[in-house]
């Protein structure tokens, strides 16, 4: 999970920062494992957000100081968390009632692939011999009101992750509304991908070349206003 060398576009922290700007005050939010976990640190001051984790907590906060971890106070990524005032515990059926019932406003997830029709693949490459594991991914994307994706624009090997159609097994069809990639902010519209904001230092041609589907630039295309953020600790 360390930063790639000589990367083009936004850093992982900058992607998380940009996604955080979209979370309104009072939102109930579920953050996926990986880059999405960084979002909480960048929600603008003055906005209060309640975080949900599948394993039965609403209203958790940062990791505790070393030595104060509790193995029964963890998030879905099995990392230790703390409680904020107003937190609540509940069992798994109630936790997924929150998800499936449309009570969570936003989930922010990583993805292997996102298609121009909003399909998402983030649980399996479909490779032979792999141990299939889905966790709560399918419930989240099927149930949460706004499904947002944070992802590098391409794979480590430079393959596009934004495609005309997903080639990996779907997590759900037609659910993603917005992608925060290292190259910018891309909306999924009825007409396909729409580039709303572009990362500093990235050209439209570079975006198009790294995207395996048509991608239009918005008429009011802006540059992502991400601040310079110190590189987060590896594996944060």
Output DSSP code: residue 103.
Answer: -
Give 63's DSSP letter: P
Return the range that interacts with another protein (CB under 8 A); candidates 82-90, 199-207, 210-218, 224-232: 82-90
58 binds another protein (CB under 8 A): yes
Binding of residue 25 to another protein (CB under 8 A): yes
Binding another protein (rule: CB under 8 A), the pick from 3, 68, 94, 223 is 94
CA 17 – CA 37 distance, rounded (Å): 11
HSE (CB half, 13 Å, CA atoms) of 228?
0
User: How many angstroms separate the most distant Cα atoms in the chain?
Assistant: 52
- Residues paired with 82 in a beta bridge: 61
Q: Which of the ranges 74-82, 155-163, 177-185, 218-226 carries the binding residues for another protein, by CB under 8 A? A: 74-82
Positive or negative CA dihedral for 31, 37, 42, 45? positive
Q: How far is the CB of 189 from another protein (least distance, A)?
A: 20
**Binding to another protein by residue 85, rule CB under 8 A?**
yes
Q: 40 by DSSP, 3-state: which? A: helix
Give catalytic residues, as residue numbers: 54
Residues that bind another protein (CB under 8 A): 25-26, 28, 48, 50, 52-59, 70-74, 76, 78, 83, 85-104, 129, 131-139, 142-143, 169-173
């Amino acid at each position: 999970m360390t930063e790639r060398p000589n990367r083009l576009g936004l850093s992982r922290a900058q992607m998380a920062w940009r996604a955080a700007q979209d979370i309104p005050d009072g939102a109930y939010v579920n953050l996926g494992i990986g880059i999405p976990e960084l979002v909480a640190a960048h929600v603008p001051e003055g906005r209060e957000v309640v975080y949900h984790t599948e394993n039965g907590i609403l209203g958790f906060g940062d990791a505790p100081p070393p030595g104060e971890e509790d193995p029964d106070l963890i998030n879905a990524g099995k990392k230790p968390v703390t409680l904020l005032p107003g937190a609540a515990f509940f069992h798994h059926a109630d936790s997924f009632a929150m998800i499936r019932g449309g009570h969570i406003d936003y989930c922010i997830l990583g993805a292997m692939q996102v298609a121009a029709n909003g399909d998402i693949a983030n649980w399996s490459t479909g490779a032979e011999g792999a141990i299939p594991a889905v966790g709560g991914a399918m419930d989240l994307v099927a149930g949460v009101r706004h499904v947002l994706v944070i992802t590098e624009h391409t794979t480590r090997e430079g393959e596009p992750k934004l495609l005309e159609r997903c080639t990996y097994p779907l997590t759900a069809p037609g659910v993603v509304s917005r992608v925060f990639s290292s190259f910018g902010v891309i909306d999924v519209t009825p007409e396909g991908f729409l580039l709303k904001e572009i990362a500093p230092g990235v050209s439209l041609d570079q975006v198009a070349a790294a995207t395996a589907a048509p991608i239009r630039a918005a008429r009011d295309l802006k540059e992502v206003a991400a601040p310079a953020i110190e590189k987060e600790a590896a594996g944060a």
